[in-house]
């Protein structure tokens, strides 16, 4: 786990309220795997908004840089999105678990909104591991205005995204789930809003395909000390109802462990 | 050369900066990032008699210059602590002092934990968390003078180790509660725990926190913590550990000048895990600049005309 | 069209946003900048029987997400208020409701101010500030159940106007104090006044505030104020005015959902004198977006599973 | 009194920890008189540092701009000093009293540190009023590194400053008071650290010359509502010990009213 004050080295508004940021943070970039995240903060001496750091998935790791895909949600993500080139933030990471591909050959990735982030890292990360798999990426947004450019996705991730919008203004009309014939997938990975994750889980369960979900919960420490990011889960060994920490036991969970 | 050490509880703290209960796990979690054994010490997450799963999500959220938490004392329980946590502490912490934070809902709960730990080594003493609701009385131990007196007296009988009581600020006169602890045998006090608070999501019209209410910590409560520390020191002779919103050496020094012998850092460790070591370094620098050779001389050095 | 009005104290507030005592003078000061008569109302600076010069400097300073103040109830006194302040209020405020904040150190002080104002017109009622130290008892009226009961009962006998008691958060169970006020005839409650706090200059080793300690206000205390409001509403039937750290419509709505019929804005008016009118506009916008036609329907609409 | 969100239109580091900032705020610029100040804030929706606005003397008012001379003291002045071009702050002003020149012909201005600010506005303001007076400006700093450039003073204010530094590294060695033969002054104006103001008051009193001092106190509202900025004074009518508000009755006081 690395803590570093890292400068913004690239910043681009990529869609409505959506920004692409790159930080110079070689050690984190080297270690980060898809699904893992960094805490992005401003240190303890500035108690402005935000005081607590904010979790964000590592979306790319080119040339010693950590790329993040940030959607403005509240005051914290707004401040992060407004960082100027050269400004430094405190990065802590990489944190959490990653998607585990095992022997899967045909991997279906289902992303909702900025849940796209981990899947931007996935293809090149697999390359770096010398690991081959057929990846298919479904990417859904509510409206076209917030869609991350498919060319940019291609450039960052080297993968083509199958885009779905509910208003039909970009890509196909509908939700990612409308595009989900699991056709041939032997593993489903998903990240996005909880409602979507639940639907993905049902689909995969029905089809009998293993499924891993990256979930979100409020965080303070990102490293297991505050016990704040617990979500209801099922203990895989005892079958008991327990809580698991999203920051250390997650954010990627086997779908069947989640107690929703 | 500045001497940052503090003599209290019959031992020497190499410096006055500890990590606060519930914000540093059991020390191990931070050991990847900082040299935990270089700190003054750590206070463990609350230990209860039984393992506790804690509250449903959402457990934490940011508030202005602070945070709200309702973890619900999630912890591994007395046995889990002895089996899973204490061995690491014993092995890795020899210079940093360890206080075990103890929580419960009845006098028996607290005494049970203390008795269960009394024969173990690897830690210095106890910090008693009296902010949990008292099963018998309904209110907190920490807001009821009689329950507090009984609890402290019972714990005093159960241990010869340093017994520190952590006070809640949620009372009219914290000095009264400080006195009660001293009179019933406490060796020290920690001021303060969190303030009760609430955060509402105006879109869903629901509380943000699963437990509805939670405790407020962080810089927002620093002036209240300094006040409580100052009030408490004016009523007791036993040493005090200052807590609440400390982010840097200047904040720590406010507490020390107000009368704290030691301080604890909690929420700020989330903003930056280097806060504690930076605070130690900063204290050394301020002392050097001000020509102070022993930080202990600053305890209670506030000049009120 | 959204109806922001609130019916209470036998009258109609055109909207729920008032300015808090001690942060808006007597209304006149802001009249250059904002349309004071468009607000729900204002609460005057505390009025005491005699003119008071107040505390020595420094009286205020910034704290994390808030401020500390120890003004010392500096005010023109009952006669000065009638002679110098009330005429402006009478002439300029016809739609905004005015509460006169009353302070004192004994029951006689409070009753004296109320009796001295009873025959005047130009204001609606009183807000009783029980956070001042009580001369007889030493503690505050607001932290002692018996003193508070006697004070409220005496004031009830002295006036037929709306009698609002402003509670201090510096107690273990604010609900108990709310109950006592209701039982003794109060028509409403204001929650909350400031938290006691302290700020130390680590270079001079002196308190920053001339009075040594002061009251903490601003966003830092918002979660505590919402909590106190929610606790109080669960124990009484009388309406509540929510106060503490409100900076915008969302903050105001947190208090309203927690049970407040009206809110007051204090410290945030210093950060921007347009905060109150902006909050009124913001409430209207949120209601429109959420399809709420009467803001009064939101009072206490918090859903706690 | 004007409230306006005003952008930074000029920013320059002019000495160590000392910055010159100009804001586009025509109405305030038009009304401001020497000694008056503005509250510089960030609004109520950002509760970072600072939450309360900070008082700063109007140091220039060219072409609809308000010029401020900012010395970094704590977190608030630091944030103000770091404003970027185009960033907006909330200005409230002009506030407070001004220096009153009456019929004075020979006016001695004594500035300590950024107490220089009001005297930068004074000469051009007098010009605009069509008022003539001989101004002499003594300007002292502890060390040379923080001295505001005399050429820049000349440019902004059209006046030559007689500079004193305690370390002697710029101008004359010593304090402004060492340079103070009141020689012929029929009015003394001063702004700076309290210790200096006290010394100036003694000097002027001894010489029997009227003296006005601009003082500082912590502020919240800047307009008389919070009663927070009181300082001990003598009531000019009754001779009683009272308190006066620096924001409305000051910051400029007749020296004899101050109870120090
Ligand atoms: C593992 C993980 C990875 C994430 N990756 C990304 C990403 O790549 N891009 C992206 O735009 N967002 C991502 N998020 C969500 C992002 O953390 C939240 O949008 C952000 O914390 C909201 O903060 P705010 O101050 O803008 O919102 P506010 O609502 O003002 O925040 C208030 C509090 O709620 C917390 N909070 C609110 N929503 C969330 C949320 N969805 N998740 C966690 N905490 C929340 C905040 O941390 C803060 O403590 C991720 C979250 C997690 C847990
Ligand atoms: C009428 C007036 C005019 C001023 N003009 C100028 C000027 O032209 N240039 C300049 O650099 N400074 C000026 N000051 C001083 C400036 O306001 C303070 O340096 C600034 O408020 C310090 O804030 P901070 O956050 O940097 O310091 P901190 O010490 O972190 O502030 C903490 C609190 O103390 C208050 N405070 C601390 N010192 C002062 C002070 N000297 N005066 C008022 N409040 C203080 C702050 O406002 C804040 O509430 C003036 C002050 C007044 C009253
Ligand atoms: C997430 C979290 C968990 C906490 N858990 C405990 C606990 O188990 N026992 C306890 O006595 N205090 C607990 N506290 C309170 C802290 O130890 C400390 O008293 C409080 O947070 C104020 O200090 P701070 O402002 O530096 O955080 C907890 C605080 C936080 C934020
Ligand atoms: C400068 C100042 C003066 C105050 N004076 C009074 C007062 O005279 N009477 C009173 O009841 N409350 C007084 N208060 C408390 C406020 O009315 C309010 O209860 C408190 O500040 C919390 O609200 P806020 O966070 O919106 O400021 C004062 C607060 C401030 C900051
Ligand atoms: S964020 Fe602290 S335990 Fe997960
Ligand atoms: S700053 Fe508020 S009265 Fe002067």
Give the containing element (helix H, strand E) for B127.
strand B125-129
Helix (H), strand (E), coil (C) string for D158-184: CCCEEEEECCCCCCEECCHHHHCCCCC
Is residue B212's pLDDT more than 70? yes
Give the DSSP letter string of B132-164: SBPTTTSSBGGG-HHHHHHHHHHHHHH-SS-EE
B246 Cα nearest atom in ligand 3: 26
Output the pTM of the full model. Answer: 0.97
Q: Which of C30, C45, C60 sits opposite D220 (nearest CB)?
A: C60
Among left, alpha and beta (phi > 0; psi -120 to 50; other), residue D6 is: beta
In this structure, the answer to whether residues D138 and D189 fall within a common structural domain is: yes
pLDDT at position B267 over 80: yes
Q: Who contacts A174 (Cβ-Cβ below 8 Å, separation ≥6)?
A: A164, A166, A168
Residues 6+ apart with CB under 8 A from A176: A110, A111, A112, A138, A139, A140, A164, A192, A196
Read off the CATH number of the domain in which A59 is found.
2.40.30.10
In tens, the pLDDT along D188-240 reads 999 999 999 999 999 999 999 999 999 999 999 999 999 999 999 999 999 99
Range of weakest confidence among B125-134, B272-281, C257-266, D228-237: B125-134
- For residue B117, the SS3 value is helix
Q: Is residue D245 part of a domain?
A: no
Whether A57 is in a domain gets the answer: yes
Q: Are D123 and D161 members of one domain?
A: yes
- The residue from D216, D233, D248 where one domain ends is D216
Q: What is the pLDDT of residue B138?
A: 64
Residue D226 lies in a domain: no
**Ligand 3, residues at Cβ distance < 6 Å:** A 226, 228; B 20-23, 45-46, 67, 69, 71, 73, 101, 129, 166, 193-194, 217-218, 221, 243-246, 265-268
Q: State mean pLDDT over B184-193.
A: 98
Measuring CA to CA, how many Å separate C108 from each of C112, C134, C189?
6, 11, 21
Q: Express each pLDDT in C258-275 by its tens digit.
A: 999 999 999 999 999 999
Cα B38 to chain centroid distance, Å, stands at 18
> Hey, which residues 106-125 in chain C have their CB within 8 Å of chain B?
none
CB A231 within 8 A of CB A244: yes
Question: Does residue D170 sit in the same domain as residue D91?
Answer: no
Residue-level pLDDT at A180 = 67
Domain final residue pick, D200, D216, D232: D216
The reply, when asked if residue B245 is annotated as ligand binding, is yes
Q: Is the residue at D244 inside a domain?
A: no
Looking at the fold, whether A103 and A43 belong to one and the same domain comes out as no
Distance CA D19, CA A146 (A): 41
Rg (CA), chain C: 18
The pLDDT, as a whole number, for residue D180 is: 67
Counting ligands in written order, which one lies closest to the CA of residue A250? Answer: 1
As a whole number of angstroms, the distance between CA B226 and CA A226 comes to: 24
Scanning chain D, the segments in alpha helix (DSSP H) are: 26-31, 75-81, 117-129, 150-157, 194-207
**Are A78 and A121 found together in one domain?**
no
Give C114-169 pLDDT, tens digit per residue: 999 999 999 999 999 998 776 666 678 999 999 999 999 999 999 999 999 999 99
CB atoms within 10 A of CB D242: 17
Continuous segment of H or E residues that includes residue A189? strand A187-191
Q: Do C64 and B219 lie within an 8 Å CB cutoff?
A: yes
Beta strands B6-8 and B11-13: pairing type?
Answer: antiparallel
For tokens 């889980």, the residue is: A201
Quick one: tokens of A175?
């939700």
Q: D55-82 pLDDT, tens per residue?
A: 999 999 998 999 999 999 999 999 999 9
Cβ C304–B207 below 8 Å, yes or no? yes
The H-or-E segment that residue B209 falls in is none
| D51, D223, D243 ranked by CB distance to C62: nearest | D51
Nearest CA in chain B to C229: B198
What element of type H or E holds A27? helix A26-31
Task: Tell which residue, B156, B160, B95, has the closest CA to residue B122.
Answer: B95
- Same domain as D116, residue D199: yes
A190 has which bridge partners? A110, A213
As annotated, the active-site residues of C are: 132
pLDDT of A96: 98
- pLDDT at residue B225 in the model: 98
| Residues in chain A with pLDDT values less than 50 | none
- For C144-173, b/e burial (b = at least 16 CB within 10 A) is beebbbebbbbbbebbebbbbbbbbbbbbe
Mean pLDDT score, B214-230: 97
Contacts of C120 (CB under 8 A, 6+ apart): C82, C86
CA of C165 to the centre of ligand 4 (A): 14
Give the max Cα distance, chain C. 57
pLDDT of the residue at B134: 65
Q: Does domain B6-298 have CATH number 3.20.20.70?
A: yes
Mark whether D11 and D58 lie in a shared domain. yes
The count of structural domains within chain A is 2
Spatial separation of the C-alpha atoms in residues C88 and C140, rounded to whole Å: 32
> What residue numbers bound the domain in which D13 lies?
2-95
pLDDT digits (tens, 9 = 90+) for A23-52: 999 999 999 999 999 999 999 986 677 999
Which of A45, A79, A95 marks a domain boundary? A95
CB–CB contact C269 D227 (8 Å) = no
Decide if A138 is inside a domain: yes
Tokens of A198: 């639940």
My answer on whether D111 and D46 are in the same domain is: no
Q: What mean pLDDT, rounded, does chain D reach?
A: 94
Q: Whose CA is nearest to atom 38 of ligand 2?
A: D218
Residue B77's pLDDT band (cuts 50, 70, 90): very high
For the cut 70, the answer to whether the pLDDT of residue D251 exceeds it is: yes
Q: Residue D128's domain is classified under what CATH number?
A: 3.40.50.80
B221 annotated as a binding-site residue: no
Helical segments of D99-230, H only? 117-129, 150-157, 194-207
Helices (H), chain C: 77-80, 86-92, 107-117, 145-158, 174-183, 222-233, 249-258, 268-271, 275-290
Nearest one of D100, D73, D91 to D18, comparing CA atoms: D73
Same domain, D212 and D107: yes
pLDDT value of position A47: 61
Residue C248 in tokens: 């915008």
- Could you state, in order of their start, the residue ranges of all structural domains in chain C? 6-298
B255 close to B263: Cβ distance less than 8 angstroms? yes
Rounded average pLDDT per 10-residue block, chain C, 305 residues: 96 98 95 96 97 95 96 94 97 97 95 97 97 71 94 98 97 96 98 97 98 96 98 97 98 98 98 98 98 97 92
Which residue of B25, B57, B273 is in closest CB contact with A3?
Answer: B273
Q: Is the pLDDT of residue B137 over 70?
A: no
Contact B205 C257 (CB under 8 A): yes
Distance of CA A62 to the CA centre of its chain: 17
A243: enclosing H helix or E strand: strand A241-245
- Residues of B (147-176) whose Cβ lies below 8 Å from C: 170-173
* pLDDT tens digits, D123-138: 999 999 999 899 999 9
Q: A46–D47: do the CB atoms touch at under 8 Å?
A: no
Q: Does B231 carry a binding-site annotation? A: no
- Quote the CA–CA distance of C49 and C82 in Å, as a whole number: 11
Q: Based on the fold, state whether residues A181 and A196 are members of the same structural domain.
A: yes
């Amino acid at each position: 786990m690395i803590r570093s004050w890292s400068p913004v080295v690239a910043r681009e508004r990529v869609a409505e309220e959506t920004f692409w940021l790159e930080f110079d943070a070689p050690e984190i970039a080297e270690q980060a795997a898809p699904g893992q995240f960094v805490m992005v903060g401003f240190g303890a001496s500035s108690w402005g908004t935000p005081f607590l750091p904010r979790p964000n998935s590592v979306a790319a790791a080119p040339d010693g840089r950590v790329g993040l895909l940030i959607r403005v949600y509240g005051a914290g993500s707004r401040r992060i999105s407004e960082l100027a080139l050269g400004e430094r933030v405190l990065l802590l990471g990489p944190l959490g678990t990653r998607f585990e591909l095992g022997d899967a050959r045909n991997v279906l990735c289902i992303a909702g909104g900025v849940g796209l982030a981990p899947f931007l890292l996935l293809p090149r990360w697999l390359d770096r591991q010398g690991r081959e798999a057929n990846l298919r990426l479904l990417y859904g947004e509510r409206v076209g205005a917030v869609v991350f450019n498919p060319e940019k996705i291609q450039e960052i991730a080297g993968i083509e995204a199958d885009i779905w919008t509910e208003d039909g203004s970009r890509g196909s009309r509908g939700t990612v789930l409308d595009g989900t014939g699991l056709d041939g997938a032997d593993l489903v990975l998903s990240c996005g809003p909880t409602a979507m994750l639940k639907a993905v889980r049902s689909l995969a369960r029905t089809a009998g395909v293993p499924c891993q979900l990256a979930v979100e919960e409020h965080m303070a420490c990102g490293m297991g000390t505050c016990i704040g990011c617990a979500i209801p889960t099922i203990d895989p060994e005892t079958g008991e109802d327990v809580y698991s920490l999203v920051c250390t036991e997650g954010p990627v969970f086997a779908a069947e462990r989640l107690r929703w | 050369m500045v001497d940052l050490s503090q003599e209290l509880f019959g031992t020497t703290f190499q410096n006055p900066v500890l990590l606060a209960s519930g914000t540093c796990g059991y020390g191990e979690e931070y050991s990847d990032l900082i040299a935990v054994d270089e700190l003054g010490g750590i206070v463990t997450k609350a230990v209860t008699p039984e393992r506790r799963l804690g509250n449903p999500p959402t457990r934490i959220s940011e508030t202005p210059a602070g945070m709200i938490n309702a973890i619900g004392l999630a912890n591994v329980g007395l046995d889990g602590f002895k089996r899973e946590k204490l061995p690491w502490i014993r092995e890795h912490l020899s210079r940093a002092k360890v206080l075990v934070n103890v929580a419960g809902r009845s006098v028996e709960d607290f005494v049970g934990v203390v008795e269960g730990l009394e024969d173990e080594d690897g830690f210095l003493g106890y910090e008693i968390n009296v902010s949990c609701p008292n099963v018998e009385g309904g209110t907190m131990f920490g807001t009821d003078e009689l329950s507090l007196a009984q609890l402290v007296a019972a714990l005093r009988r159960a241990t010869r180790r340093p017994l520190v009581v952590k006070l809640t600020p949620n009372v009219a006169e914290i000095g009264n509660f400080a006195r009660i602890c001293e009179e019933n045998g406490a060796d020290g006090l920690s001021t303060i725990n969190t303030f009760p608070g609430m955060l509402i999501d105006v879109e869903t019209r629901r509380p943000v926190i699963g437990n509805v209410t939670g405790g407020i910590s962080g810089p927002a409560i620093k002036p209240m913590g300094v006040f409580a520390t100052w009030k408490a020191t004016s009523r007791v002779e036993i040493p005090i550990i200052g807590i609440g919103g400390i982010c840097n050496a200047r904040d720590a020094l406010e507490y020390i000048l107000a009368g704290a012998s030691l301080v604890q850092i909690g929420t700020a460790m989330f903003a930056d895990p280097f806060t504690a070591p930076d605070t130690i370094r900063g204290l050394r620098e301020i002392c050097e600049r001000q020509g102070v050779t022993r930080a202990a001389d600053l305890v209670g050095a506030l000049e009120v005309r």
